[in-house]
Chains A and B, each alone.
Chain A
Amino acid sequence: MKGFSKNILLLLLTVHVSSETILLKGGLVHLGNGEPATPKDILISDNRIASVGKNLIIDGNTRVIEVNGLPVTPGLISPMSNLGIVEINSLDVTRDDESNILSAGFSIFNAFNPNSTGIPWNRSNGVTSAISTPSASSFPIFGLGSYFVLDGSLKVKGSKDIAMFGRLGSSNESRAETLAILESLLEIGRLFQNSTVDEILDMTLAEKLELQPADIIALGKVVNGGMPFVLETNRAVDILQALSIKQKYSLNLVLASVEEAPMVLDELKESNTPVIIDPMDNIPNSFDELGSNLNLGKILDGAGIPIMFSTQRSHNYHLMRQGSGNAVAHGMSYETAIQGMTDTVAKTFQLNNRGSIESGKFADIIVWDGDPLEPSSFPKIVMIEGELQDLTSRSSKLTERYTNSEEKPSSYKH
């Protein structure tokens, strides 16, 4: 972890100072840290949460917003998204999530488009920040994901290259080969601790793996407990392989998908590995995930494993609410679900000032019109770094246009 904090490039390019001091009064507040919700007030000042509690002392300049008992949560954080880097999946010219040259060192950070339509849409649905990842174009490691604050600012706020992403599982080649390649790549990372990029580039192995300098530098960051390494894998025995690699290279491992995790629960628990799951995916989509089951969240939660949520499809990352709601319906604890969309992501990916409603953290806060785990609920208030966000999206504009009964062509309804 130490090595990582030295390497991480925190890009808080501008700290927007909000002029307004706001009191969110009388909400049913989920702090995000796993504690059950209780009625609390939240005082927000200078982009941050100033204090949380009852009967907070405020001055005459504070704007008081009555929340009237509605549920309040931290802003949701998607741990795996394509926000800002993919506009339309089927159109390659709108995608910036793949590299032909780089693998482990491929960073999507500079491709992030704060004006992408997915951002206001997900923001208005309660997602205030997200990790965007490269896609599975290279195997077994795709590249580096970055963290982004979804306020739409052209001065991009976030953290560059905070985690590496890869996959282990079925392909056209043997997974034994995939594992061997994965180990070779991590071996390069280990060598980089004591060698220069040029020395490594001269090695046959680096040549065979077609590595670029950026790949080598990135691999150096994941070995020995550094940058989080997110590996998507499902088959029980593959999970064990991943855990063994974790130990061998002291990886800060996060496992994604893990549909057969219940079969290796003890090992997973012992390894202290957080997971990212899609609780609604109970389809045995491949021979790697025959154990797929709606009770995955319940079982992992029962073992005390930190859980985060992915979504079945792209573009609607807010639907992790529906996913976690289904997990709760099938036995996961309610607060684990809330935590999994907020604090667990922040802790796992070392987003130190986010993820929970705690004095000193950035005021990324949602007030919901109902139970946040019910798919029919919707945000009343979305706040990012203390700023109340406009909930307008392209989708809301289209809705407005086509529910406007004026007798004129739609293009003139604006």
Chain B
Amino acid sequence: MTNKFFLPSLLFILVSCSDSFDIDVSFGSSDSVYQGIDNAFESTYIPMYSQPILFRSANIYDGLGGEFLNYDLLLSDGVIKEISKSISAPGVFVIDATDKWITPGIIDIHSHMGVYSAPGVSTSSDGNEATSPVTAEVWAEHSLWTQDPQFALALKGGVTTFHVLPGSANLFGGRGATFKNISRNTIQAMKFPGAPHSLKMACGENPKRVYGNRRQSPSTRMGNMAGYRSAWIDAVEYADGMNESNEDRRPKRDLALDTLMGVLKGEILVQNHCYRADEMAMMIELSKEFDYKITAFHHAVEAYKIADLLADEGICAALWADWWGFKHEAYDMVQANVAIVDQARNGTGCAIVHSDDPVGIQHLNEEAAKAMAAGNRAGFNISKAHAMRWITSNPAKAAGIIDQTGSIEIGKDADIVLWSGDPFSVYSKAEKVLIDGAMAFDINDPKIQPITDFDLGIIQPQKNRIQ
């Protein structure tokens, strides 16, 4: 808690951004001549051991707006097999979920876990390659520390999937990647299989402050724009060059331009840190100039001012419930931000509650509860079943993994949370968290609670850090 009463100083450093999401995008199956580096560092994820599990008499929010009271839910082979009033499955392990709630595993579209690991010391500060405003060549996953104790804390909060982004010091911060919240000793073994990369872009105060302080560009918002445009001009030329049928005529491979080209091809999703409404609109213009799609704006404290535009463009906004005041561009906070974005254009908006924070990620249900209540005070009529989308299916869409997870539907990954009570109550806890049908966390069984290498015997050798 050092220093945190007084100023959230870290926030100045790790600014993040948001993406744009395109549900029609197809990942990694481009038939263009040059395949880039899409096969490098692929996921080697293998689910933990699981057995078929039947939850009996559960109340369920399916993450798509549906509510099912007193239903049975069968998980088998790592996927959701059946949801109905009464399932007969002889010999299957049964968990009584009477008076409890089941939701999809919580998904955070904006995390820096593993790249800003705990303890937050200089040796673990691996999220901002703040050496040049354009560092599209770096990948957040190459910084990840698999023993970050924050992963296990997020798991206790019901988080089964999270997207790790580089920070927001740069105009182009690098690639983000999506992970299953599973304890593994290699980064690739945690990677969500088949999930697309993202490109972190950042608007506003952070890049202009970081580089302006060094008397270099960008030092203004117009400098930011010039920086993006110059990079995209190079990317378009590079992509054209890589389409040459004669290999000898192709340009030398460039990691940064590979990333930008991936965006132009629709294979990499843009997650764009951007607070102010006018800047978000400008970023949309920029995306049209160079023909790419923004998947989501992140932080977007002023998203409510352009909620219709975001809905029209099919861009999600990943938001906090109530953070404000730490920067000038975070001054116009309204607690109804999430609800206004969600309800735009007859409820076709895509709102996400994100954390950008190792404490917040453990309480995304509470953050969604605040956002829902504020929306309803502002005159909307948003149900809990609907608000559950903000921390499940909507972030799954924005991460490009909606076909695999983010909702309770037959055939999807069995990423599930069993809550002790109403998932929107501060008093409820995630009792069991399943990832691909495997029990990753059980509040009543210390044997099913991950303890990282970092946690092991660190304060007193006989004990573990949290016991």
Contacts and interface: CB of A to CB of B under 8 A. Distances in A.
Contacts of A314: 6-8, 325-326
A285 B427 contact: no
Contacts of B33: none
B326 A90 contact: yes
A82 B153 contact: no
A232 B323 CA distance: 24
Given A90-B327, A316-B323, A402-B304, A97 B427 contact: no
Nearest to A397: B334
A24 to B, nearest CB: 21
Nearest to B2: A286
Given A136-B6, A402-B304, A91 B458 contact: no
Nearest to A91: B328
Contact of B12 (A90, A117, A312, A378): A90
**Interface size classification for chain B:** 35 or more
A374 interface: yes
Contacts of B255: none
B335 interface: yes
B1 A257 contact: yes
Interface string A128-157: 000001011000000000000000000000
Contacts of B458: 290
A403 interface: yes
Contacts of A395: 324, 333-335
A281 to B, nearest CB: 5
Interface string A383-407: 0000000000001101100110000
Contact of B6 (A135, A286, A396): A135
Contacts of B3: 136, 167
Given A285-B118, A287-B119, A399-B378, A319 B322 contact: yes
Nearest to B156: A294
B384 to A, nearest CB: 10
B199 interface: no
Interface in B93-141: 118-121
Interface string B410-439: 000000000000001111110000000000
Nearest to A288: B2
A245 B3 CA distance: 22
B158 to A, nearest CB: 14
Interface stretch (A8-16, A53-61, A266-274, A321-329): A321-329
A310 interface: yes
A46 interface: no
Contact of B4 (A118, A170, A278, A325): A278
Given A90-B327, A402-B305, A284 B335 contact: no
B150 A399 contact: no
Contact of A402 (B323, B340, B359, B363): B340
A293 interface: yes
Contact of B327 (A89, A133, A290): A89
Contacts of B324: 315-316, 395
A167 B6 CA distance: 11
A107 interface: no
Contacts, number: 176
Contacts of B465: 284, 290-291
Interface stretch (B224-232, B261-269, B289-297, B369-377): B369-377
Contacts of A218: none
A233 to B, nearest CB: 9
Nearest to B322: A316
A22 interface: no
Interface string A283-313: 1111111111100000000000000001111
Interface in B332-351: 332-336, 340
Contacts of B333: 395
B466 interface: yes
A189 B212 CA distance: 44
B8 A313 contact: yes
Interface in A209-253: 232, 234
A285 B2 contact: yes
B426 A313 contact: no
B327 A322 contact: no
Contact of B426 (A257, A373, A403): A373
A403 B342 CA distance: 12
Nearest to A377: B373
Given A90-B205, A118-B325, A312-B359, A282 B153 contact: yes
B363 A280 contact: yes
A358 interface: no
A60 B374 CA distance: 37
A169 interface: yes
Residue in B4, B6, B121, B377 whose Cβ sees the most chain A Cβ within 10 Å: B6
A263 B458 CA distance: 14
B377 A378 contact: yes
Contacts of B327: 88-90
A376 interface: yes
Contacts of B7: 82, 86, 89, 135, 314
B1 A285 contact: yes
B417 to A, nearest CB: 16
Nearest to A291: B459
B358 to A, nearest CB: 5
B377 to A, nearest CB: 6
A62 interface: no
A84 to B, nearest CB: 13
Nearest to A281: B1
A365 interface: no
Interface in B364-397: 366-367, 369-370, 372-374, 377-379
B149 interface: yes
A343 interface: no
A234 B366 contact: no
A42 interface: no
B328 A90 contact: yes
A91 B326 CA distance: 9
Contacts of B335: 395, 399
Contacts of B359: 280-283, 312
A328 B119 contact: no
Contact of B366 (A287, A312, A316, A375): A375
B334 A398 contact: yes
Interface of A: 80, 82, 86-91, 97, 117-118, 133, 135-136, 167, 169-170, 232, 234, 256-257, 259, 263, 278, 280-293, 310-316, 319, 322, 325-326, 328-329, 373-378, 395-396, 398-399, 402-403, 410
10 contacts: A91-B328, A136-B3, A136-B6, A232-B2, A289-B1, A290-B119, A313-B326, A375-B373, A376-B370, A402-B304
Given A284-B149, A312-B4, A322-B426, 6 more contacts: A263-B459, A283-B153, A284-B465, A285-B4, A286-B121, A375-B370
Nearest 9 CB-CB pairings of A with B? A315-B325, A376-B373, A325-B426, A135-B6, A257-B1, A376-B369, A89-B326, A90-B327, A399-B334
